[in-house]
């Protein structure tokens, strides 16, 4: 049993500014928690730099050109507005670039693509990619919600193009709707997407009637839902539907901000619940797609809760 963990220090060098929620301490704490686990079945990999062309799998060349031209020589630049705004201090709670952000984006994608290569070819059983900046809000041609490029969407397209996989399933349990992932795939039945998320909550999308071409399942969860009720929705809707689908690879947008201690949402999951979610997903992958499962980090803004939850996920992936 081999579980890969993809990470690079460049992912910590992405700096959105003082006081920004999506801060480097998120991933620093997760790396520390994962390295504290028993290591025999965990193999660490340094995320390589992806080629810019890999980003074209789901994003327009014009958008990618805009992103990398917007990376500042110094200070900060927000790319979430109609026009870029550069400043010396910080750019607020938006999607922000600093001088090291370009490499962080390419490392996130590079790690995800190498994870696909190794898991699909059977060199590893599964993988956890410490992708930062996160990705599931990024559209084909627009940054949103701290996300520059859509890591999980690029991984799905790469698995199809490079390895000939016919159908990919993506499950997103971040507290926020994976609106970018949905928008990219909503007309493409070769990708099946499930999102459990809080509503009402930014980005105010992901209602049950948003079904795409029949390949989208949204499960909105009201604020302050008890954890038992949340898990019931998970089992009776998400897992029941996934059981009826066929797919060759299971990708997971693993955000930890539905944790009871997270400041961004109003949900009540405990750390051990993330182990339950991953246990269910791992079992599903074993039944459906030869165990091929790759988790990619999304949100999670309470440092300790995210670190312990990520460790719980990794413990399940690596059979600890």
Domain that holds residue 136: 3-317
Instruction: For 72-128, write each residue's pLDDT tens digit.
Output: 999 989 998 655 555 656 556 789 999 999 999 999 999 999 999 999 999 999 999
Q: For the sheet containing 249-254, what is the strand order?
A: 42-46, 3-7, 126-129, 293-297, 249-254, 168-172, 191-198, 216-221
Q: 195: which strand partners? A: 172, 218
The one-character DSSP state at 172 is E
Domains identified in the chain, total number: 1
Instruction: For 141-186, write each residue's pLDDT tens digit.
Output: 999 999 999 999 999 999 999 999 999 999 999 999 999 999 999 9
> How, if at all, do strands 42-46 and 3-7 pair?
parallel
CA angle at 301 for the pair 77 and 112, rounded to the nearest 5°: 70
- The rounded distance, in Å, linking the Cα atoms of 225 and 124 is 37
Q: Are 245 and 166 in contact (CB under 8 A)?
A: no
For the entire predicted model, the pTM comes to 0.96
Q: What is the CATH number of the domain that holds 38?
A: 3.40.800.20
> How, if at all, do strands 96-97 and 216-221 pair?
unpaired
Active-site residue list: 137
């Amino acid at each position: 049993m081999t579980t890969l963990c993809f990470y690079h220090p460049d992912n910590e060098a992405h700096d959105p500014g003082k006081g920004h929620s999506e801060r480097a301490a998120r991933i620093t704490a997760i790396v520390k928690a994962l390295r504290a686990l028993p290591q025999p079945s965990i193999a660490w990999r340094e995320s390589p730099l992806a080629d810019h062309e890999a980003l074209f799998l789901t994003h327009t060349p014009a958008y990618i050109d805009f992103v990398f031209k917007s990376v500042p020589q110094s200070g900060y630049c927000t790319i979430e507005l109609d026009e870029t705004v550069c400043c010396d201090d910080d750019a607020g709670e938006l999607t922000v670039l600093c001088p090291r952000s370009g490499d962080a984006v390419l490392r996130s994608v590079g790690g995800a693509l190498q994870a696909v290569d190794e898991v699909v070819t059977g060199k590893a059983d599964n993988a956890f990619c410490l992708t930062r900046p996160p990705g599931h809000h990024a559209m084909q041609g627009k940054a949103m919600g701290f996300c520059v490029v859509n890591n999980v969407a690029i991984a799905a397209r790469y698995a199809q193009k490079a390895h000939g996989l016919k159908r990919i399933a993506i499950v997103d349990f971040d507290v926020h709707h994976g609106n970018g992932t949905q928008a990219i795939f909503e007309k493409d039945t070769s990708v099946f997407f499930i999102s459990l998320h809080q509503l009402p909550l930014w980005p105010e999308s992901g209602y049950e009637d948003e079904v795409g071409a029949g390949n989208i399942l949204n499960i909105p969860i009201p604020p302050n839902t008890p954890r038992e009720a949340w898990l019931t929705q998970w089992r009776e809707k998400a897992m029941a539907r996934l059981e009826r689908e066929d797919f060759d690879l299971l990708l997971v947008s693993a955000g930890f901000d539905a944790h009871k201690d997270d400041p961004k949402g109003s949900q009540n999951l405990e750390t051990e619940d993330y182990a339950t979610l991953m246990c269910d997903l791992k079992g599903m992958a074993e039944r459906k797609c030869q165990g091929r499962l790759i988790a990619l980090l999304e949100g999670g803004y309470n440092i300790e809760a995210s670190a312990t939850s990520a460790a719980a996920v990794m413990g399940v992936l690596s059979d600890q």
